[in-house]
Amino acid sequence: MESLGVLLAARIDPYLEAELDRRFKLFRFWESPPAQRREFLRENAEAIRAVVGSPARGADAEMIDLLPRLEIVANFGVGLDKVDLRRCRERGVRVVYTPDVVTDDTADLAIGLAIAAMRRICDSDRYLRDGSWKDKGDYKLTSKFSGKTVGILGLGRIGQAVAKRAEGFGCPICYCSRSEKRHTNYKYYPSVLELAANCQVLVVACPLTEETRHIINREVIDALGPKGVLVNIGRGPHVDECELVSALLDGQLGAAGLDVFEHEPHAPEQLFGLDNVVLVPHIGTDTLETSKAMADLILENLEAHVSNRPLLTPVF
C-alpha cells in the first residue's frame, strides 16, 4: 500500500511530528524558505495526500489547489479559520479537527485570565519582585471576580465550560450566540451589544467567521464600560485591536485578559506597561496533557482515513 504523504504545515508538537514521521511519509513545510514554498508544493504534489495544520497555518485555497491528490486536512485545534472549508468541500477534501480535548484547558485559562486581570496578579507579582512591597508598602486594592455577571459570546463546548466554572464562583451567567439554547437557563441576549451592556466580564469564545470578525468593536467596548473586563480566548480578529488599545489607554475599559491577538505573534506594545492587562502568547490549549491528546486524535483520524474507517472527529 502506498504510504500516506503528510504535509505538516507548521511546527506544532514534537511528539506529533515524530509520530507522523514514524507512521507516514512526512513533509515539513517550514524547512522550505518562504519564497520557495509554492515550488516545494508543486515538486511534492503527487506525494502529498494529507495536510496537518495549526492555528498559525492551515490549508488555504492556494495550498489546496497546488495539491491535486489532497484527500484530508487535519486541524490541530478547534478553530478552523486557517482552513478554506469552502474549497475543501468543492474538492471533496475531508476535514477533521480536535474538539472536546481542548475544552477544559481553554475554559480554565479564560477564568484564569479574568481573575489575573481583575486581581492584578501579574502586576502585583512584579511589585513584590522589584522590591516595591518593601519600599512602598502594601499593593493597591483590586476587584473581585466572584459574584460578577459573566457574559459569554458563543455558548459552544468551550463557552459552556467557561460558564460552568464561573458558576462555581457564584457568577450569574448570560450569553449571546447565533440562536437561543434550549437546554440552559442562562439569560440570552440576541446581540453582543446587549450582552456587553448587561455583564461585567465579557468572554469571547465563538468561532472566527466573516460575521464575527471585529464583532468586539468600539460600541461593544463602550457598552462594557470603564469597570468592565474583556477576556478573549477565541481569535485575535474577533476584537478591533486598535479600538481595544485606545479604550484601555484612555481608561474606558476596566481590564483585559488576552490569549490571542489580531496580528500574531505580534501583540500591541502599548499594552505592555498597563497593570490592568494580562497578555499570554496563545496558550489556550498548551498543556502537556492536552497537546498529547490532540496529537493522538490527529493520528487516529489519519489512521482511520488510511484504513477506510469512519473518521473520529470529522468537520465533514
- The residues that are catalytic are 235, 264, 282
- Give CA–CA dist 256/275, Å, rounded: 10
* 184 to 9, 153, 164, 202: CA distances (angstroms): 39, 15, 11, 18
Cell of 166: 464561573
**DSSP states along 221-250:** HHHH-TT-EEEE-S-GGGB-HHHHHHHHHT
In sign, the C-alpha dihedral spanning 130, 133, 139, 145 is positive
Q: Exposure pattern of 169-183 as b/e (b: 16+ CB <10 Å)?
A: eebbbbbbbeeeeee
- Give CA–CA dist 117/278, Å, rounded: 6
- CA angle (55, 81, 278) in 5-degree steps: 55
- Give CA–CA dist 173/155, Å, rounded: 11
